[in-house]
Amino acid sequence: MRILILMRNSVSTSRGGAEVQADFLREACIKAGHEVHFAFDSKSTIEHPDDSTTYHTLPDNGRIKSWKNYSAIKGLVKEINPDLVYQRVRFSYTGLAAIASRCFGAKFVHNISADYACKKNPVPFGVHFIANFITEHLGRYGLRHADLLISQTASQAGLLKSNFGLDSIVIPNAHPVPDHLFTKSTPPIVAWVANIKSWKQPEIFVDLAKRFSNTNARFIMAGKPGGAKYQERILRLIEDAPNIEYVGQLTIEEVNTLLSEAAIFINTSEPREGFPNTYIQAWMRKTPVISLNFDPDDINTRNDIGYLSGNFEQLVKDVEHLLSSPTMLSDMGIRARQYSIKKHDTDVTGALYLKEFEKLLN
C-alpha cells in the first residue's frame, strides 16, 4: 500500500496533538511494511532523522491561505500516485485532498481532530473573511467527499451525523505504552501542560495553585509560550503565586517524565478540545486527570479514572479530595493505566487504522 499523509505541519515543525497522532500512524504504516509519503508546509528544507519515509514540503502560505497550494497538492498526488491519501485537521487541505484524490484514483481518508470540525462554523466578517470563507467551505467539501471519515470519539461521530448526515468510524487517539514508570514525587505535583493560549485558560490553573498555597503541593505549568502580551500577563500572574513553577515548552519525553512524577494532571481548557494527547500520557503513567470542562465520551467519570469538575470551586474540591486521599489517588491511577493500555496503545489503534485502510482499498 502506498500512503500519502497530508498535514499542515509535521512533528519537526510543530508538536501539536494532530501532528503527534499523524506521526504515530506513519510509524504504524512503516512497521506494517507499507510505503509512506508525508507532505507538509515549510518555508525551508527540514531534515528528518529517518529514511523510512519520503518527506515532501509544500509552500507555506499560512493556514488560512493554504488553499493556494491546490496545484502543488494536485501535482504531488499525481507524482506519488498513492493508493490512499490521509489528511488530519479540517481546513483547506481537507477539500484539496478530496479533489486531488478523485482526480487520480486514490481513496481519501479524513481524520477529525477537534469537535469544531464536526460543525458548520459561521465565518465572521473581517479583514480575512474571504480566506476564512474558503477555508471553512473547502473543509466542508472534504468531509462530504471523503471515502472514509474517522472520529476521535463517539460524541464527534454523533456531531458529524447530526450536522452533516455523515457516518464515521471511531478510532481514539493513542500513545506508546511506557515501559518505565517514575516514582511519584513527594511532595505531590499537580501538573498543567498545554500551549499558552487564551482558550486553554492557564490563568485558572494559577488561581487553583493559589488556593493551595498553604499546602506542600507543587504546581507545575508547562507549555509553549503564546502571544507576547498574553504570555506576559500569565507570567505576571505566576509571579504572585509562590507555589507554582512555569517550566516553559517541554519535549514530549520531558512531558512524559513530568506526568510520571505528577500526582494529578489538570485540564482547564474551554469545552472545544478534540481528544487531548496529555490525557492519555497521564493515564498511562498512573496519573488521574481532573478536567474543568471536558471529558471525552465521559471516559474519566465512567471508568473512575478522574473527574469532570464543571466549575472552579468544584475543581478546587476535587483536587483537595484526591490530595488528601492517597489510597484513592493510587487506585485511580492504577485503573487509569489499565484502561489506557487497553484502549489507547498505539499498537492497538495502528492495527485498527490499517484494517480500515485495507478494507477501503479492497
What is the structure's pLDDT at 308?
Answer: 97
Q: What are phi and psi of 346, to 5 degrees?
A: -60, -30
Q: For residue 357, give the nearest of 18, 41, 35 by alpha carbon.
A: 35
Q: What is the pLDDT of residue 181?
A: 77
- Judge whether residue 110 has pLDDT over 90: yes
Rounded distance between C-alpha atoms, residue 17 and residue 64, angstroms: 19
146 has pLDDT over 70:
yes
Q: How does pLDDT run across 46-84, given as a tens digit for each residue?
A: 776 667 999 999 999 988 899 999 999 999 999 999 999
Please report, to the nearest 10 degrees, the dihedral formed by the alpha carbons of residues 273, 275, 277, 283 taken in order: 120
Architecture of domain 2-174+345-361: 3-Layer(aba) Sandwich (3.40)
Fold annotation for 189-344 = Rossmann fold (3.40.50)
pLDDT digits (tens, 9 = 90+) for 229-267: 999 999 999 988 889 999 999 999 999 999 999 999 999
Q: Residue 303 — very low, low, confident or very high, per pLDDT cuts 50/70/90? A: very high
pLDDT value, residue 49: 65
pLDDT band at residue 337 using 50, 70 and 90 as cut-offs: very high
Instruction: Give me the chain's average pLDDT, please.
Output: 94
User: Exposed, middle or buried, 106 (CB in 10 Å: 0-12/13-18/19+)?
Assistant: buried
Residues 120-136 have pLDDT tens digits of 999 888 888 999 999 99
**For the segment 157-181, what is each residue's pLDDT rounded down to a tens digit?**
999 999 999 999 999 999 999 988 7
Tell me the per-residue pLDDT of 8-21, one tens digit each, with 9 for 90 and over. 999 888 878 899 99
310: phi > 0 → left, psi -120 to 50 → alpha, else beta; which? Answer: left
| Cross-strand bridge partners of residue 170 | 151
- Residue 312 C-alpha cell reads as 472552579
Beta-bridge partner residues of 87: 6, 110
Q: Do domains 2-174+345-361 and 189-344 have the same CATH topology?
A: yes
In the chain, where the domains are located = 2-174+345-361, 189-344
Q: What are the φ/ψ torsions at residue 90 (nearest 5 degrees)?
A: -80, 115
Query: Which pLDDT belongs to residue 330?
Result: 96
